[in-house]
Amino acid sequence: MSAALEYARYEFEGNDELCLKAGSHHPKNILLIPPLFDEMNRMRRMLLDVMRLLDAKGIGSALPDLPGTNESLFPQEHASLTIWRQALLACSAQLPLPLYVASFRGGCLIDDFTEDARQWRFSAVKGQMLLRTMMRTRIASDKEAGLSTNMAQLSAEAGQGQVNLAGNSIGSALFSQLEEAVASPSPDVRATQLESSTRAADTKLPGSALWLRAEPDDDLLLSAAIADDLASWVSA
Amino acid sequence: MSENLDLTPEAAVRAVMQDILGLDADQVSAFTADTELFGALPELDSMAVAGLLTELEDRLDIMIEDDEVDGELFETFGNLVAFAEMKAAE
């Protein structure tokens, strides 16, 4: 897998945001919405492998930084699901139509940024689950520092402006949006899950739950299965 | 309402441990009630424990409160399964 990745950009609210691309010259391109928060780091290598595999199959892909994540200079505490949807709309304008959107984990919460896209989802997660995991991490690190914190306190702190959870500055808007956020119901979406999942899905893919690992890792079995399923999906 | 198909608490704990530790099903099926977890498995750090609890909540359709979690819970596989069974029966 030697295909080169292109470090492209898109503009959002006066900032240049990174958008990695592979095979952008191909007629069909897929916008990839990454997982949110730490899950993005743990799945990024796997996603880049998917992009290279898609390129080899003659399909382009684009992986934007959401404002306030990864290399973005946007103030993280000002990020929200609304901001991220607006950014995806700006980024997607660079891609050829029809628009194909493949989202992963928390990314599935914001793939409804347009009504004019075909949607593919991998292991969609509720916003509340992401919040609870991050709050537990914060509570555990506070405990090691001799502090006693609970979720109700963290929730109240978020309501007063922002709260730091597992290295993320979460503003009150993002916090309250995540509490309610679920992937939007859509009859046309192709939903995928891991084979180990008991959730309903259009198809189950082999591989491991990289977002639960202590360290980032790749999973060539999973990236190949995702690339194969995406390729048949855009060709259907 | 759970969107999940039926899953026993023990099967859910085994499945989540398999995902977190990156093991295969055979290795996790060798876990017994006495298998030591926290402290014995370096991958099981505090962040992994946070993910584990949330995954169990999701897969078993339960809610785990802050004050229910203590160090003893993660001492052995048996402790964790017993806790999951207790929560699922509530």
Asked if the model's pLDDT at residue A2 lies above 60, the reply is: no
Distance between start and end Cα atoms, chain A: 25
Q: Is B3 within the bounds of a domain?
A: no
Based on the fold, state whether residues A21 and A44 are members of the same structural domain.
yes
Residue B40 sits in a domain whose CATH number is 1.10.1200.10
Beta bridge partners of A190: A120
Based on the fold, state whether residues A40 and A147 are members of the same structural domain.
no
Based on the fold, state whether residues A32 and A78 are members of the same structural domain.
yes
Number of domains in chain B: 1
- C-alpha dihedral sign at A206, A211, A212, A214: positive
**Which residues does A188 contact at the CB level (< 8 Å), separation at least 6?**
A118, A119
Task: Give the pLDDT score at A1.
Answer: 47
- pLDDT bracket for residue B1 (50, 70, 90): very low
Based on the fold, state whether residues A121 and A217 are members of the same structural domain.
yes
**B72 vs A189 pLDDT, higher one:** A189
Number of domains in chain A: 2
Q: Which of A107, A97, A98, A100 is nearest to A37 (CA)?
A: A107
Task: Give the pLDDT score at A170.
Answer: 97
Q: Is A1 within the bounds of a domain?
A: no
Based on the fold, state whether residues A197 and A218 are members of the same structural domain.
yes
| Six-digit token string for A126 | 């509720």
Q: Is B33 within the bounds of a domain?
A: yes
Based on the fold, state whether residues A53 and A156 are members of the same structural domain.
no
Q: Is A156 within the bounds of a domain?
A: yes
Q: Do B57 and A132 touch (CB under 8 A)?
A: yes
Based on the fold, state whether residues A188 and A132 are members of the same structural domain.
no
Task: Give the pLDDT score at A132.
Answer: 96
Distance from CA of A114 to the nearest CA of B (A): 26
The residue in chain A having the minimum alpha-carbon distance to the alpha carbon of residue B68 is: A150
Which residue of B54, B56, B58, B60 to mutate against A (max A Cβ within 10 Å)? B54
Please provide the average confidence, as pLDDT, over all residues in chain A: 94
Interval A7-66: pLDDT, tens: 999 999 999 999 999 999 999 999 999 999 999 999 999 999 999 999 999 999 999 999
Residue B24 structural domain: 9-89
Asked if the model's pLDDT at residue A3 lies above 70, the reply is: no
What percent of chain A is modeled with pLDDT above 70? 99
Residue A99 structural domain: 6-126+183-235
Based on the fold, state whether residues A137 and A122 are members of the same structural domain.
no
Last residue of a domain, one of A180, A207, A222: A180
DSSP-derived secondary structure for A107-134: GGGGTTS-SSEEEEEES---HHHHHHHH
Asked if the model's pLDDT at residue B59 lies above 80, the reply is: yes
Distance from CA of A155 to the nearest CA of B (A): 13
Total-model pTM: 0.93
Q: Is A159 within the bounds of a domain?
A: yes
Q: Is A121 within the bounds of a domain?
A: yes
Which residue among A137, A198, A217 places its CB closest to the CB of B47?
A137
- C-alpha distance from residue A45 to each of A40, A103, A169, B10, B76 (Å): 9, 15, 24, 32, 33
- Please state the rounded mean pLDDT for residues A101-119: 97
Q: Is B2 within the bounds of a domain?
A: no
Interval B31-42: pLDDT, tens: 999 999 988 888
Task: Give the pLDDT score at B6.
Answer: 66
Q: Is A21 within the bounds of a domain?
A: yes
Last residue of a domain, one of A140, A159, A180: A180
Is B33 within 8 Å of B81 (Cβ atoms)? Answer: yes
- pLDDT bracket for residue B5 (50, 70, 90): low
Q: Is B24 within the bounds of a domain?
A: yes
Interface membership of B68 toward A (CB under 8 Å) = no
